[in-house]
């Protein structure tokens, strides 16, 4: 610290409180602002520590088995991302190498999803799958409008354009339909069809259909829609359709799993009617939130009206994302993970995560009181329902597990199956076998506790007696 003639170092330290232990300093008495900014500045270490302490009361991300979103990156990646936080991803002229890295990531995904370079695929990074789905949906809407007009369909009539998706859709599709006044046609699912039934979906398709959304995997269960089956039926339909109907694959999780785990599964641009694909880089793309990607198979698939041009190295670069300014750190993080892992690294990580999921499926099945609704067949997600006659529900088990820090949601399946309550675990790379074994011990102990406990007010009301046996943790 520079010393002036008037102030000694000791005096300056006293003034700034630099030598006080953080929790002994006057500044640590500052009440964290709730709705007004504090009047005076607070020393950086104190401010950081106070906020860190406040956040520390939240759940432990590694025990949050509810989320698909990445909770671990290597320290080198975290450092690299911290070093690039100030770069604005949209400022391509200022940060041409960052822009180049984004283009490389897009090209890597085009390749991974079997786009044909001759068709001139295009794509962009986004904040997450929601923005990517929004863009995929807009591409369908713009294409439909142009083609429907050309086919003599009144696009301004009372009949709204519609989008076909299963009742297991993620909320971003409801947002998309509401924002752009599109009728959401929900293909029902039932016990026998826990994903899209292509034959049934075709009954919802007509001249006002902007597209069909296939999901891999469905948020509720993890199951993949039958994209290949849908593609085949649409190929037949499109032979005589006034407006051809194409598929957007919402691969929020599956698009970054299937290429490594089931490379022969055809769900991507190998299928001629798959015209756009979106994914979350921050799910099985293995980057911290928020990053997503959307790719269109060809120049024809991405309507010109959606492309805006920004200056780049004296030239022009296409941009088609909804957001403008945001940090490039996640893009750099995605490129790091691509480079660091390579194809084989991703495969190893996802294979191990699948092994963990299968171990959980085996152990939970062995408990003899649950039935698996989804057993991590395609992606490392499992969900089960309670089939034994018990005085407790999965909601009770969810609460008990929460006492050990585990966040494992129980919830009803969507329309038509609301009476089925399931509990779901999303396995991620940072869920080790050791942690899983600890979880299984906790789960068994809590089931024993629930069996022994007396639920006072019945199955829907979750009140317990206090005499739980907490052994076996």
**E strand segments, 314-380:** 315-319, 370-375
Task: Single out the segment in contact with ligand PLP by CB under 6 A; choices: 34-42, 53-61, 129-137, 145-153.
Answer: 129-137
DSSP code, position 406: -
Instruction: State both tokens at 340.
Output: 């660091």
| 314 Cβ neighbours under 8 A, 6+ residues apart | none
Contacting ligand PLP within 280-299 (CB under 6 A): 280, 292
Name which position in 209, 219, 273, 453 contacts ligand PLP (CB under 6 A). 219
Smallest distance from the beta carbon of 225 to ligand PLP, in angstroms? 10
Least distance CB 346 / ligand PLP (angstroms): 18
The least CB distance from residue 249 to ligand PLP, in Å, is 10
Pick the closest to residue 286 from 255, 320, 314 (CA basis).
255
Q: What tokens does 384 get?
A: 């089960």
SS3 103: helix
Q: What's the closest the beta carbon of residue 185 comes to ligand PLP, in angstroms?
A: 17
CB of 58 to ligand PLP, least distance (A): 18
**Residue 254 parent element (H or E):** none
Per CB under 6 A, does 225 bind ligand PLP?
no
Q: CB within 8 A of 445, min separation 6: which ones?
A: 469, 470, 471, 472, 473
Quick one: 162 or 219, whose CB is closer to ligand PLP? Answer: 219
Q: Which is nearer to ligand PLP, 292 or 380 (CB)?
A: 292
Rounded CA separation 423/387 (Å): 12
Judged by CB under 6 A, which of 128, 244, 333, 380 binds ligand PLP? 128
Of 17, 25, 68, 383, the residue at the interface with ligand PLP (CB under 6 A) is 68
- 215 interacts with ligand PLP by CB under 6 A: yes
Pairing of strands 421-426, 381-386: antiparallel
User: What is the nearest approach in angstroms of ligand PLP to the Cβ of residue 324?
Assistant: 18
Quote the least distance from Cβ 282 to ligand PLP, whole Å. Answer: 6
| SS3 letters across 130-187 | HHHHHHHHHHHHHHHHHHHHHCCCCCCCCCCCEEEEECCCCHHHHHHHHHCCCEEEEE
- The torsion angle over the Cα atoms of residues 158, 160, 161 and 166, rounded to 10 degrees, is -150
Q: Which of residues 264-283 bind ligand PLP (CB under 6 A)?
A: 280
Tell which positions 229-258 bind ligand PLP, by CB under 6 A. Answer: 250, 252-253
The Cα–Cα gap between 456 and 320 comes to: 57
Q: Site for ligand PLP (CB under 6 A): how many residues?
A: 14
Closer to ligand PLP by Cβ: residue 131 or 231: 131
Q: How far is CA 259 from CA 109, 285, 305, 412, in A?
A: 10, 11, 31, 30
> What's the Cα-to-Cα distance from 470 to each of 157, 393, 403, 452, 463, rounded to whole Å?
65, 19, 11, 11, 17
Residues between 105 and 124 that touch ligand PLP (CB under 6 A): none
Identify which of residues 364 and 381 has a Cβ nearer to ligand PLP in the complex. Answer: 381
**Residue 178 CB, nearest distance to ligand PLP (Å)?**
15
Least Cα distance to 123 among 333, 291, 313, 349 occurs for 291
Q: Is 170 in the site for ligand PLP (CB under 6 A)?
A: yes
129 part of the interface to ligand PLP, by CB under 6 A: yes
375 counts as binding ligand PLP under rule CB under 6 A: no
Distances (CA, A) of 44 to 22, 37, 59, 222, 264: 10, 16, 25, 43, 53
Answer yes or no whether residue 398 interacts with ligand PLP by CB under 6 A: no
- Which of 17-22's residues contact partners 24+ apart within 8 Å by CB, and which partners? 17/43, 18/43, 22/46, 22/49
- 449 binding ligand PLP? (CB under 6 A): no
Site string for ligand PLP, 332-361 (x = CB under 6 A): ------------------------------
Nearer to ligand PLP, 128 or 198 (CB): 128
Asked whether the beta carbons of 360 and 382 are under 8 A apart, the reply is yes
For ligand PLP, the closer CB: 28 or 423 = 423
Q: By CB under 6 A, name the one of 46, 133, 134, 196 that touches ligand PLP.
A: 133
| Binding-site ranges for ligand PLP (CB under 6 A) | 68, 128-130, 133, 170, 172, 215, 219, 250, 252-253, 280, 292
């Amino acid at each position: 610290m520079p010393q002036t003639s008037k102030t000694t170092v000791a005096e300056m330290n006293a003034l700034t409180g630099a030598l006080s232990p953080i929790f002994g300093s006057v500044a640590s008495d500052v009440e964290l602002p709730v709705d007004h900014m504090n009047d005076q500045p607070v020393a950086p270490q104190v401010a950081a520590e106070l906020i860190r302490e406040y956040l520390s009361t939240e759940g432990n991300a590694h025990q949050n088995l509810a989320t698909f979103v990445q909770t671990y990156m290597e320290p080198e990646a975290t450092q690299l991302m911290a070093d690039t936080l100030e770069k604005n991803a949209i400022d391509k002229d200022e940060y041409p190498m960052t822009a180049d890295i984004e283009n490389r990531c897009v090209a890597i995904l085009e390749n991974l999803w079997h786009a044909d370079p001759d068709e001139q695929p295009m794509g962009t990074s986004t904040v997450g799958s929601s923005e990517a789905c929004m863009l995929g949906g807009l591409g369908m809407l713009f294409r439909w409008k142009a083609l429907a007009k050309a086919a003599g369909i009144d696009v301004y009539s009372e009949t709204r354009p519609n989008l076909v998706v299963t009742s297991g859709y993620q909320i971003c599709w409801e947002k998309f339909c509401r924002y752009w006044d599109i009728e959401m046609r929900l293909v029902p699912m039932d016990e026998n069809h826990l994903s899209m039934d292509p034959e049934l979906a075709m009954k919802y398709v007509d001249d006002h259909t902007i597209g069909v959304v296939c999901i891999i995997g469905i948020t509720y269960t993890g199951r993949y829609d039958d994209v290949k089956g849908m593609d085949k039926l649409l190929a037949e339909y499109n032979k005589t359709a006034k407006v051809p109907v194409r598929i957007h694959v919402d691969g929020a999780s599956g698009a970054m799993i299937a290429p490594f785990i089931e490379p022969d599964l055809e769900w991507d641009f190998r299928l001629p009617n798959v015209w756009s694909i979106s994914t979350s880089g921050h799910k099985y793309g293995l980057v911290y939130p928020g990053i997503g990607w959307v790719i269109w198979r060809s120049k024809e698939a991405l309507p010109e009206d959606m492309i805006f041009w920004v200056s780049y190295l004296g030239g022009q670069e296409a941009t088609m994302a909804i957001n403008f300014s945001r940090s490039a750190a996640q893009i750099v993080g995605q490129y790091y993970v691509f480079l660091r892992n390579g194809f084989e690294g991703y495969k190893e990580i996802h294979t191990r995560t699948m092994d963990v999921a299968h171990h959980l499926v085996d152990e939970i099945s062995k408990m003899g009181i649950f039935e698996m609704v989804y057993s991590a067949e395609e992606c490392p997600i499992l969900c089960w329902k309670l089939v034994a006659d018990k005085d407790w529900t999965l909601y009770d088990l969810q609460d008990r597990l929460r006492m050990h820090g585990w966040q494992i949601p129980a919830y009803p399946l969507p329309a038509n199956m609301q009476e089925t309550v399931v509990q779901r675990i999303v396995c991620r790379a940072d869920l080790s076998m050791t942690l899983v074994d600890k979880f299984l011990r906790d789960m068994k102990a809590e089931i024993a506790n629930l069996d022994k406990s007396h639920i006072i007010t019945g199955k829907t009301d979750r009140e317990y007696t206090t005499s739980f046996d907490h052994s076996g943790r």
